[in-house]
Amino acid sequence: MFDLKYHKKYFAGSRVELCTKVQQSVGEKRYRHILGVEKAAIELAGKNAVDVEKASIAALVHDYAKERSAEEFKKVIDRKHLDPDLLKWNNFIWHGVVGAEIIEDELKISDPEILNAVRRHTVGSVKMTQLDKVIYVADFVEEGRVFPDVDFARTIAFKNLDQAVAFETKHTLQYLLSANKTIYPTAIETYNRWVVAVN
């Protein structure tokens, strides 16, 4: 893969150094997913006037904390005085929202736009920047993903980023409902903002 030159503004090292840290934090399969998300995010950033370096960094770290234990996440929630309601949830929400804190502490990445893109990558948000949308959508359509509608999702992603956010939000919610899973309230807010308002 090409190597993007970092300006050391958001991360104090090269892209390859960041990749090495990420690789050490997750398993092989997840690392491949992460590289796929980065590739998609860079392409989407180019099309949507988003800073390509920020897109690369946010994509590389978006699942950095995914394999941490529940104990570690709970400790971080306490130590950082995050909303105690988070304690009632689990890995699916922690790895983004609490993961952003772990990324800041361990990788010394403090850019709020990058950290917010990580926080919002799983359930989205009412307010989403173009960078947030790029990471949210890239996570859904990266080349390693396989699900029946993935080709359609990719086509929309590269045509219209807002429509891709809407498609992904609705698709995820439909899956969660069909599987009788708990819906995180923010996911419903994302639906109301991006699915109802766009279509």
Interface residue list for ligand GDP (CB under 6 A): 33, 63, 66, 92, 121-123, 139, 172, 176, 181-184, 187
Question: What's the number of CA atoms in the CB half-sphere (13 Å) around residue 46?
Answer: 6
Determine the Cα–Cα distance for residues 95 and 58; give it in Å rounded to an integer: 13
Min CB(191)–ligand GDP separation in Å: 10
User: Rg of the chain's alpha carbons, rounded to an integer?
Assistant: 16
Determine the Cα–Cα distance for residues 31 and 12; give it in Å rounded to an integer: 21
Determine the Cα–Cα distance for residues 180 and 56; give it in Å rounded to an integer: 34
142 binds Fe ion (CB under 5 A): no
Selection from ligand GDP, Fe ion, none that 126 binds (CB < 5 to 8 A by kind) is none
Q: Which span sits near Fe ion by CB under 5 A: 45-53, 136-144, 157-165, 188-196?
A: 136-144
Residues from 49 through 68 that contact Fe ion (CB under 5 A) = 63
- Quick one: which of 53, 104, 139, 168 contacts Fe ion (CB under 5 A)? 139
Min CB(168)–ligand GDP separation in Å: 9
Contacts of residue 25, defined as CB under 8 A and 6 or more positions apart, other chains included, come to 64, 65, 67
Smaller CB distance to ligand GDP: residue 53 or 63?
A: 63
Determine the Cα–Cα distance for residues 129 and 117; give it in Å rounded to an integer: 8
- Give me the 7-46 binding string for Fe ion, x by CB under 5 A, dash otherwise: ----------------------------------------
Sign (positive or negative) of CA dihedral 154, 159, 162, 166: negative
Question: Where along the sequence are the contacts to Fe ion (CB under 5 A)?
Answer: 63, 139
